Amino acid sequence: MKILFLNGPNLNLLGTREPEIYGRTTLADIEAKVRERAAKLGAEIAFRQTNQEGELVAWIQEAKGKFDVIVLNAAAYTHTSVALRDAISAVGVPTIEIHLSNVHAREEFRHKSLIAPVCRGQICGFGANSYILAVEAAVTVNG
């Protein structure tokens, strides 16, 4: 079981970015926790971040045949990107949408996810733990 974690714009700033919303855990800390949990469950992890929409699209396309599941925190692109949504449905690799914050309890523009309809499910609102819950969801995604 191979899981590809993809992180979108500004998530490289975790730890110092609006800590009252996103917490003080850095993306490197989250990656370490994800790797620890995944190792216990026997899953292999790739973990990447980019600020560029096109790079996320390219990584989703390349995942076909290489990864069993994608876990995607598309950050702001969640709410804007038809290209990401199209890539997820084109490639057909089961994708789990995640967010640190509870996007439904925040500004109205965050309530709409363009990717949600093509994802298997959504995990949000649990801070860094959303990533750990996503590992658990990923290993059981196909039953």
Catalytic residue IDs: 22, 99
Complete DSSP assignment for 74-141: -GGGGGT-HHHHHHHHHH---EEEEESS-GGGS-GGGT--SSGGGSSEEEESSTTHHHHHHHHHHHTT
Contact status: 10 vs ligand DQA (CB under 6 A): yes
CB of 37 to ligand DQA, least distance (A): 18
Nearer to ligand DQA, 1 or 10 (CB): 10
User: How many CB atoms sit inside 10 A of residue 16's CB?
Assistant: 9
The pattern of x and - marking residues 38 through 77 that bind ligand DQA according to CB under 6 A reads -----------------------------------x-xx-
Contact status: 33 vs ligand DQA (CB under 6 A): no
Residues forming the site for ligand DQA (CB under 6 A): 10, 73, 75-76, 78, 99-101, 103, 110
